[in-house]
Amino acid sequence: MTSTTNDTTGSAIDPTTTTAWEALEAHYLEQTTSLREWFEQDPQRAERFSRTAADLHVDLSKNLITAETMELLLDLAREVDLEGRRAAMFAGEHINTTEDRAVLHTALRRPEGAEPALEVDGQDVDADVHATLRRVYDFADKVRSGEWTGVTGKRIETVVNIGIGGSDLGPAMIYEALKPLAQEGLEARFISNIDPTDAYATTADLDPETTLVIVASKTFTTLETITNARLVREWLLGGLRDRGLDQDLEAEAVRRHFVAVSTALDKVEEFGIDPENAFGFWNWVGGRYSVDSAIGTVLATVLGPDAFEELLAGFHAMDEHFRTAPLEDNVPVLMGMLNVWNVNFQGAETHAVLPYSQYLHRFPAYLQQLTMESNGKSVRWDGSLVSYDTGEVFWGEPGTNGQHAFFQLLHQGTRLIPADFIAFATPNHPLTDGEQDVHELFLANFFAQTKALAFGKTAEEVRAEGTEGALVAAREFSGDRPTTSIMAPKLTPSVLGQLIALYEHITFVQGVVWGINSFDQWGVELGKQLAKGLAPAVAGDEQAIAAEDSSTAALIRYYREHRG
C-alpha cells in the first residue's frame, strides 16, 4: 500500500446542501420524541440499537432517535463521502490539508508484518514504527531490570514525564487508568503546567538519585516543556550537589537521568541528553493522537512493554472495526453521526462523558483536547467558512461523584446535554460492605441514572407518592435526556485502547461531516505568540507596557505592584 498525495483535498462538501441534511431537518420537525413511548411500542428497541465493537458493548437505544433517524444520518455520511475519507486516512493520503500531511496515528498500532505493507511518501511506515518501538522497549526493560541506574548507581524509582497537551494528557490519563499494573517500586509522575508550582510540587519529595526524567517535545522548543525541563534539571543537579556530586560528573548526571522523546537531536544534545536516548516520531502523528507513539515511553517503562503492546492491540482492534464494519454496525460511525444529530439538529452545545470507574478520572480531560482541539473550527478544509455549528464542549467527572455535583443540570436543567456513560462488569478491586457487593451498588447507580434521564418521572407519578401543590413540578423529571451506555468486561490495557480509538474515530466522523480539518490546531498559536511578545512588559519595561492596550497594561501594572 503506497501513498503520496490525495485527491480528497478539494472543495469541502457543505453538508447543509445535501439531500440527507434537508431530510433530517424535516424529520426533526416532524418527530414527536418520547423515549417512554418508543420503548413501550418496541420491546426490542434496546437490542435494535445496541452494537458490539471489539470488547465494547454499546447501547444507543436511549438516544433521541428512531430507525428513520439513523437511516437518514447514514445517508448524510454517504453523501459527504465518509467512507472515501476514511479510506484516504488509512492509506496515508494527505488529509491534513493545512499542513500537507498524512494522518497516520492508526499506523502506530498496526501489528508487525501487517499486510499490505504501508509506505507513505517513500517511507516504510511499518518498519519505522516497529524499529522505534523496539528501542523504547529495550530502554524500558533496562530501567525495569535495574540495568539502567542513576549517576550514583541507584536504580530508578520514579519516572517524571515532562510534556504538555498530547505529550502529557494521554500518558497521564493512561497511567492513572492502569496504575495497578505499574511495576512494584516504580512510579510515574507528570509535569505540564508552566506554573512553577507544578514542577516544584511534583519533585518536592523525590530523590534525585532515583529519578529519571523524560522530556517529551517533538521540536524540543515547546515553551512550557523546555522551561520545566530546565527547572527539573537544576533541581536534580542541585540535589546531587548537596549529596557531594563532583562538578565533573554533572554532564554525566544529565545523561543518566534525562532522556527525550523528540526528533530535534541537535537541541536534545544541546540540553545535555545523549541523542542515543532520544525516541522520535513523525509529522503524520498529531500531538493529541500520539500516546501510542514514543510519547508513551513513560508507560512502557512503568507499566511494562507487555501492557503497552496490549494497549496497542486494543487500539488496532477498534481501528479494524472502524475500517471494515458496515456503516449500519460501525460504532464510531453511529456515535459520530449521533453527535452531529445532537449538535446540528437537537441544539446540544456540550457533551458529558461519565466514566463509572475511578481509574478513568482523567478520561474526560483527555477527550477535551482530542475533541475540542480537533473539531473546534469555523473554517472548512478548503478555507471556506462554515454556516453551521461544529464541535462540542466535552466535560465530565467519574460517577458517582458527578451525581452529587452537576447531575441536577442533566436531569432538570433547560439545556439538552447528551451523555456517554462508561462502566465495567468486573471491578479492579472487589470489595464488600457487610453483605453488599460495593461494585454492584456502584453499577446500580450507573443503570439508574441512564434510566432516570431517559424516562423521567411524570407529575402523576409524583402525586402518587403523596406530593401535592407546587412541589409536584419541582419533583417532576421530563426525561428524554439522551445517553449512550458503553460497557466492557473489565478495564484492561486492551479495553482502554479500544475506548481511546473509539473516540478518535468518532471525532474523525464528525469532522468529515462538517468538512473541517480535524488534524491541525492553528487556534492555539496566537496566544502563545503574544505571550512571548509580552515578556518584556511583564518584566517591567515601561515602554513595552505603554504599547499595550489599556486593559493589558493595567493588568501588568497590577502584577508589578503586587508581586511579593
Range list of H helices, 456-524: 459-464, 471-474, 493-514
Q: What angle do CA 41, 43, 47 make, to 5 degrees?
A: 125
Question: Measuring CA to CA, which residue among 270, 271, 267 is closest to residue 280?
Answer: 267
Q: What angle do CA 221, 214, 158 make, to 5 degrees?
A: 150
Question: Measuring CA to CA, which residue among 413, 488, 414 is closest to residue 446?
Answer: 488
Clarify whether 528 is annotated catalytic.
yes
- State how far the alpha carbon of 399 is from the alpha carbons of 245, 369, 438, 450, 518, in Å: 49, 21, 14, 12, 30
Query: Which amino acid type is present at position 370?
Result: L
What are residue 353's phi and psi, to 5 degrees? Answer: -120, 120
For residue 328, give the C-alpha cell.
449500519
For residue 184, give the C-alpha cell.
512494584
Question: Measuring CA to CA, which residue among 354, 379, 318, 362 is closest to residue 506?
Answer: 318
| Active-site option among 22, 40, 404, 440 | 404
Give the whole-angstrom CA distance, residue 3 versus residue 88. 9
Identify the three-state secondary structure at position 348: coil
DSSP codes of every residue in 192-234: --SSHHHHHHHHTT--GGGEEEEEE-SSS--HHHHHHHHHHHH
Peptide bond into 400 cis (omega under 30): yes
Clarify whether 373 is annotated catalytic.
yes
Give the whole-angstrom CA distance, residue 358 versus residue 176. 9
Give the gyration radius of the chain's Cα atoms. Answer: 26
Give the whole-angstrom CA distance, residue 375 versus residue 317. 24
Q: 227 and 162 in contact (C-beta within 8 Å)?
A: no
Q: What is the 3-state secondary structure (H, E, C) of 280-292?
A: CCCCCCCHHHCCC
| Active-site option among 310, 373, 392, 504 | 373
Clarify whether 532 is annotated catalytic.
no
Question: Annotated active-site positions, please?
Answer: 373, 404, 528
